Structure 1
């Protein structure tokens, strides 16, 4: 059977696991671990604290540092309220495309990896090949964050990672981070006829948002020279402000949901320091002058590291040699790559399918894209065997 046929069959199996982030991924992980274990891979199923999610880290080849990681997330976004033309968890083929939830984001890459693994397993590899499947990428890269901690604890140090998010097989060497916060304001309720007797949480939330908007303009002035992102600066936006119960009640509780997409860690630190200083220096003293128990708390929902382009990138060199690409791009969407980079690996994002299809009804991956991915992976198998 040709590798593309194997890939199709495996992709159909993977899509049939409804691994929406809110649900367990354990069955898919067990399925992949069994397949890899049968080929002689050393498999580590790393379960989270809830017992309902797990990462898979499998190794083929010599047990030493300096390995190559092929990584994909196992979770998918929900299908609720989407108008699918067929069952989203039953793969179908039509017009050179394979349809199903996760087809491009990113079970297509995982299927190609699992189809090509027998080639790696049949050869004497010069360095380890690691297959990594993570959980909960779609809700904050939670699995990858746990994985790098587990690898550090086990003293496993791969040297590079290829993250197979859908890039149409273009090499992506950089993307912004994605940081999400919810800031909660607790004031003092009271009758609307005597506003000075209460602490209006909504009004202080508005003042907070105003400060965020001021800082948004400051970020533009901090644009790094030669930034290739679009827009080239760190962006900040407010997604939701909630609070209050009635026209004539001073609201005692409010919250602001906001996000930051930093081009550098320095910008993330700058914004957090600025808003926290504003709260400590201006908002809280004014609130507590009326009500001593008033508080403002910034909750971190998720802080996903960006992938910073670097001059010396072994992953970029290897993937360019395998694909024939003449350059590398940056993108606006986030991935787990920055976490691997922070762990000390060189990293790129390169995988089959288009991000334009991700998260939409009738998600699909072009079969030609899977063939291009298979060609890259078979080339890597040859490179590791020949080096």
Structure 2
């Protein structure tokens, strides 16, 4: 009996994968081998199932549906011993990873099974750790011409509508460190106060204007936010060090000039994480996915091109020349929450969207 999207989602969500992704990866690989005629690779990057995509000029896959099977740690209510807790009510499946993003992954897996056209489905490890899996895959030559990333795009233009995201922000996390010279606080002039130097750097950071970008007529604006400051060792000691942590949401193109905060020479800047943004560079491909989304939804629904505030694996692929969009079942506010859930009817919709995209874009 053919496994449905809902059944496969339940199985995937039930497999713990916040610390060790091996069991989830093994299940996915074995499912592909059993249910499809795809060539399956299970490596340190994750699972890649390729059917017929062998390969276009330049040794590239034509089309890939991309997801990940790692999840963030569950809340106490989402775990019973080593098992994940699943609940189903009112047409929704509740559980860690249901929205982010095992539901959309299940839809992509079933879409590959039920079509004859060429396509690759990839489920990567370590997306929640900064795209570890997709970066390993890229190092091994994974660079499809086109990719649909199954992260959330439902409910952006209107409640319940599955849209197509043509851009998303990146995230650059960094630390500004100010150095000083310790001294007794009763004689502050005999030292150099690192907190004061950090305050000067903070003035520079607050004056920065985040850049903007336009992608397929949609505006995307970056942001910068100081999220922490720490310095000093005792109430009677002039502080010799002070750190400022910064969360920056980046857009394609320019970045905030954080380095300007280091102009006095006693301040250093270190980038701790840099997740790239994504911008679709092919309006025809984006339109084909939007058409597929429109065909899979009621006539009263009008899916639209939208942008996402969150970084995804699409950023790493776009950086390597893959034309990407994001289209998936998760709605804003579902991922990483104690009540994470996904709509089962929307998963069926995503299955139809992915199947249509394969038939429109995949090589017969």
**What TM-score, normalized by structure 1, do the two folds share?**
0.80
Partner of 2:241: 253
Distance 2:14 2:77 in 1: 18
Partner of 1:148: 138
Secondary structure of the residue aligned to 2:152 is coil
Unmatched runs of 5 consecutive residues or more in structure 2: 155-161, 295-301
**Cα deviation 1:212-241 (Å, max 9, x = unaligned):** 0011xx33xx54579744xx5321110011
Q: Retained in 1: the 8 A contact 2:173–2:248? A: yes
Q: Is the aligned partner of 1:238 residue 2:233?
A: no
Which range moved further: 239-248 or 186-195? 186-195
Which range moved further: 313-322 or 257-266? 313-322
**Cα deviation 1:101-152 (Å, max 9, x = unaligned):** 11111110111122333223xx3x3xx411111223233233323332222x
Q: Which has the higher helix share?
A: 1
Q: Which has the higher strand share?
A: 2
Q: Is the aligned partner of 1:139 residue 2:139?
A: no
Structure 1 residues 386 and 186, CA, compared in 2 at 3 Å: closer, same or farther?
Answer: closer
Distance 1:83 1:355 in 2: 21
Aligned pair count? 343
Name which of 73, 76, 86 aligns with 1:78.
Answer: 73
Structure 1 residues 326 and 90, CA, compared in 2 at 3 Å: closer, same or farther?
Answer: closer
Distance 2:214 2:352 in 1: 37
Partner of 2:297: none
Q: Retained in 2: the 8 A contact 1:204–1:283? A: no
**What TM-score, normalized by structure 2, do the two folds share?**
0.84
Structure 1 residues 250 and 29, CA, compared in 2 at 3 Å: closer, same or farther?
Answer: same
Secondary structure of the residue aligned to 1:355 is coil
Q: Is the aligned partner of 1:346 residue 2:303?
A: no
For the aligned residues, what is the CA RMSD?
2.7
Which range moved further: 164-173 or 59-68? 59-68
Unmatched runs of 5 consecutive residues or more in structure 1: 48-53, 285-295
Q: Retained in 2: the 8 A contact 1:71–1:162? A: yes
Q: Retained in 1: the 8 A contact 2:280–2:324? A: no
Q: Retained in 2: the 8 A contact 1:313–1:346? A: no
Instruction: Give, in angstroms, the shift of residue 172 of structure 1.
Output: 0.7
